[in-house]
Structure formats: structure tokens, C-alpha cells
């Protein structure tokens, strides 16, 4: 018999799937690292498990303890899987711009959920960063994960996602393109791939309203770049320690409208039912067209599943309300 001992053992080893229609205008092969095959339906299962196991090994997380995290939803789902199997309590702090589905899913998985306002400064006591920190201090036996600065986030992708992509492409990958939030995915995968072949180009996809692109190009953290935006999971108003700017060759910014529209196109033209950071990522690939040549192998990573966005990008009333369609 062949079976996993528990749900955590099914994390990773996701497929690589060729894009056919959306990328027809590009000269090269474009492959999607399709992370919704993880049991929590997102790439974040990988780092959630790594972070919990590293905290256990370091004696920070004790049996029966409470895990506290600020999350856009997907990390919370990964932490919920680890908490359930390993016997921890979970408190997720989420900002109010995230989809209702994400809050409901976390509650369904037994997490306590606190919803905080999005449009406040990161150091405002009401922000989701500050609330997570405060709860972890107040609750006995609680531990704040801090996916932004926790090195186990990058480590998870250095140890699993990066090697999988290298092996699945037979070492032929030339470019890796991915949305950047905490930076764990791009930094872990990018560091691994560059350790195998320093010529591989690593591109980050950023949003309008986020500080990453300008910081990478100028070294300036420009608060003027920060304003509310719709795309979920990518872009930041802080510089997380997990974003390793040195291994990133460049950023491209994608608008909210394009991200939403291309999320719909992925579903309707490729049969890829994904979240809107995937729409941003594939539009980012198309924007980088001039960087690709005939024999290149471009891998784009898709973070999460479309079911989390049925009330948003997959709802025409919502699309109209945001001014994304007529
Ligand atoms: C939907 C989605 N896309 C992209 C990202 C960005 O990934 P990373 O935090 O590894 O940079 C996240 C992170 O939470 C996410 O949830």
C-alpha cells in the first residue's frame, strides 16, 4: 500500500504545467509551477510546515502552544494544517481587504480569526502586524510566526520548491518569474536556482501601491509609492527580511485591473482556476516579453486557488464595481 501518514506528508511535489494559449505571443516555453496542488491549495503550506518544525526544534513552540500569525489567508491555511496534525492552537490576524472566503476557510479549519483595518500604518496598534504581535505577547504559551522576517520561510523554498523546479526542468530553466509578498518564495527558489546556475534570471512581480520595485531600482524606501490596492498576496508597504533584493534581477509592476482580467483569462483559456496573484504573475511574464529568446524555459509560479476569489475576480458584479469591466 502507498499512502501518506498524515496530510502534511502530501505537501510539495506539485506539477509543472505548460501554458499554451495565453503565452502564444512569446518565443519560448512557459511552464507554471502549479502550487494549488498542495493540500491547503497554496504554496504557503510549504513554509508554514517548515516554520512550525523549525520552531519546535528550537524549543520556541512547546506542546499544546498557540501559534499566532498575521496572514493574507494562505499562510493561515498552511499553519492550520500543521496545528491540527501536531496539536497546537491557532490564531490568525487578517486584514479586511482579504476575501471573505479566506476568513471563512480559516474558521472552518478551527482557527480563531481577528480582522483588522488595511488602511492604517504598519506600526498603528490597529494594523494586522501590531495586533498579531500584541496577541502573541498577551497570551501565555503563544508564539508569533512573523512570516515576513522568519528565515524558515525562505528556507522552505530553498529546500523544496527550488530543487523541484530544477529537477522538473532538467536544469534547463532560464528565467523564474513570481509575485513577491513576504519574499520567501522568490528568495528561496532564486537562491537555489542561482546556486545551480548563476545565469538564471529571477524576476519579481510587484503591484502598484507597493514599495518593492522602486526600492530595488534606487535603494529608496519611498512612502509615496504606498496606497491601497486590490491584488492579494503580493506587494508590501514594508521591507520584509525575507525579500533578498540581491538575488532578484528586476521587478515588473502589474495593475489591479490586469491582474483581475488575466486571472479570468487563465481560467477560461487554460483551465487554470487560480487566485489573482497568478493573474498578476502571468501578465508580468507577458510584460517581460523582450527578455525572452526562442530556447528559453520560463517558469512562473502560481500561488493559490480560484475558489478563494469566487466573490471577487470571478464575479462580474464585483469586477464592474471596481471598474475592471464595462
Ligand atoms: C496569493 C499569494 N500570492 C503571492 C504571495 C507571495 O508569496 P511570498 O510571500 O512567498 O512572497 C502570497 C503570500 O502570502 C499569496 O498568498
Looking from the CA of residue 147, the nearest atom of ligand 1 is 9
- Among 144, 175, 208, where does a domain finish? 144
Asked if residue 63 is part of any domain, the answer here is yes
Asked if residue 150 is part of any domain, the answer here is no
As a whole-number percent, the residues of the chain with pLDDT over 90 amount to 91
Mean pLDDT, rounded, of the chain: 96
Q: Note if 44 is an active site residue.
A: yes
The pLDDT assigned to 274 comes to 98
Q: What is the mean pLDDT of residues 230-248?
A: 96
- Do 52 and 31 share a structural domain? no
The pLDDT assigned to 211 comes to 98
Looking from the CA of residue 157, the nearest atom of ligand 1 is 10
As a whole-number percent, the residues of the chain with pLDDT over 70 amount to 100
Q: Which of 44, 155, 194, 312 is catalytic?
A: 44
CA of 232 to the centre of ligand 1 (A): 8
Q: How many whole angstroms separate alpha carbon 22 and alpha carbon 39?
A: 27
Q: How many whole angstroms separate alpha carbon 34 and alpha carbon 53?
A: 24
- State yes or no: pLDDT of 164 exceeds 90: yes
The pLDDT assigned to 219 comes to 98
- Per-residue pLDDT tens over the stretch 65-120: 999 998 878 999 999 999 999 999 999 999 888 778 888 999 999 999 999 998 88
- Do 303 and 175 share a structural domain? yes
CA of 74 to the centre of ligand 1 (A): 8
The pLDDT assigned to 56 comes to 97
Within 6 Å (CB) of ligand 1, which residues are found? 44, 72, 74-75, 179-186, 232-234, 275, 277, 303-304
- Structural domain count, the chain: 2
Asked if residue 152 is part of any domain, the answer here is no
- Do 268 and 209 share a structural domain? yes
- Do 255 and 204 share a structural domain? yes
User: How far, in whole angstroms, is CA 205 from its chain's centroid?
Assistant: 11
- Among 91, 116, 144, where does a domain finish? 144
Q: For 125-209, where are the E strands, in sequence order?
A: 142-144, 175-179, 201-207
- Do 83 and 19 share a structural domain? no
- Do 55 and 29 share a structural domain? no
- Do 47 and 26 share a structural domain? no
The pLDDT assigned to 95 comes to 87
- Among 114, 144, 174, where does a domain finish? 144
- Do 179 and 305 share a structural domain? yes
Q: How confident is the model at residue 22 (pLDDT cuts 50, 70, 90)?
A: very high
- Do 177 and 275 share a structural domain? yes
Q: What is the mean pLDDT of residues 49-64?
A: 96
Mutate to test the pocket of ligand 1, among 146, 272, 277 (most ligand atoms within 8 A of CB): 277
Looking up residue 15, the CATH number of its domain turns out to be: 3.40.50.1100
Q: How many whole angstroms separate alpha carbon 245 and alpha carbon 27?
A: 28
- Do 270 and 185 share a structural domain? yes
Which residues contact residue 279 at a Cβ distance below 8 angstroms, ignoring those fewer than 6 apart?
A: 254, 258, 259, 260, 261, 262, 263, 264, 265, 266, 313
The pLDDT assigned to 122 comes to 82
Q: How many whole angstroms separate alpha carbon 217 and alpha carbon 140?
A: 43
- Per-residue pLDDT tens over the stretch 185-213: 999 999 999 999 999 999 999 999 999 99
Asked if residue 180 is part of any domain, the answer here is yes
**pTM of structure:** 0.95
The pLDDT assigned to 102 comes to 82
Q: What is the mean pLDDT of residues 208-228?
A: 97
Are 256 and 322 contacting, i.e. CB atoms less than 8 angstroms apart? yes
pLDDT higher at 304 or 129: 304
The pLDDT assigned to 34 comes to 98
- Do 301 and 266 share a structural domain? yes
- Do 126 and 220 share a structural domain? no
Domain that holds residue 96: 43-144
Amino acid at each position: 500500500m502507498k499512502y501518506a501518514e498524515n496530510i502534511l506528508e502530501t505537501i510539495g511535489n506539485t506539477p509543472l504545467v505548460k501554458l499554451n494559449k495565453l503565452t502564444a505571443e512569446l518565443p519560448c516555453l512557459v511552464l507554471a509551477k502549479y502550487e494549488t496542488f498542495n493540500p491547503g491549495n497554496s504554496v504557503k503550506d510549504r513554509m508554514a510546515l517548515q516554520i512550525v518544525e523549525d520552531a519546535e526544534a528550537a524549543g520556541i513552540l512547546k506542546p499544546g502552544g498557540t501559534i499566532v500569525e498575521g496572514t493574507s489567508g494562505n499562510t493561515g491555511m498552511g499553519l492550520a494544517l500543521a496545528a491540527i496534525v501536531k496539536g497546537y492552537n491557532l490564531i490568525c490576524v487578517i486584514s479586511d481587504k482579504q476575501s471573505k472566503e479566506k476568513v471563512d476557510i480559516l474558521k472552518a479549519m478551527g482557527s480563531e480569526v481577528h480582522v483588522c483595518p488595511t488602511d492604517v500604518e504598519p506600526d498603528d496598534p490597529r494594523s494586522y502586524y501590531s495586533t498579531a504581535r500584541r496577541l502573541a505577547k498577551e497570551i501565555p504559551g503563544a508564539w508569533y510566526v512573523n512570516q515576513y522576517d522568519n528565515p524558515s520561510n525562505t528556507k522552505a523554498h530553498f529546500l523544496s520548491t527550488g530543487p523541484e523546479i530544477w529537477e522538473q526542468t532538467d536544469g534547463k530553466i532560464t528565467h523564474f518569474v513570481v509575485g513577491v509578498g513576504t519574499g520567501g518564495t522568490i528568495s528561496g527558489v532564486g537562491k537555489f536556482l542561482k546556486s545551480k546556475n548563476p545565469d538564471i534570471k529571477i524576476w519579481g512581480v510587484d503591484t502598484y501601491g507597493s514599495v518593492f520595485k522602486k526600492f530595488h531600482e534606487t535603494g529608496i524606501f519611498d512612502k509615496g509609492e504606498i496606497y491601497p490596492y486590490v491584488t492579494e498576496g503580493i506587494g508590501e508597504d514594508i521591507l520584509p527580511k525575507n525579500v533578498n533584493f540581491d538575488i532578484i534581477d528586476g521587478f515588473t509592476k502589474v495593475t489591479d485591473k490586469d491582474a483581475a482580467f488575466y486571472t479570468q483569462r487563465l481560467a477560461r483559456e487554460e483551465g487554470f482556476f487560480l487566485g489573482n496573484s497568478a493573474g498578476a504573475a502571468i501578465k508580468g511574464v507577458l510584460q517581460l516579453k523582450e527578455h525572452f529568446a526562442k530556447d528559453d524555459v520560463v517558469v512562473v509560479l502560481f500561488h493559490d486557488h480560484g475558489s478563494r476569489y469566487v466573490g471577487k475576480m470571478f464575479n462580474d458584479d464585483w469586477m464592474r464595481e471596481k471598474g475592471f469591466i464595462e
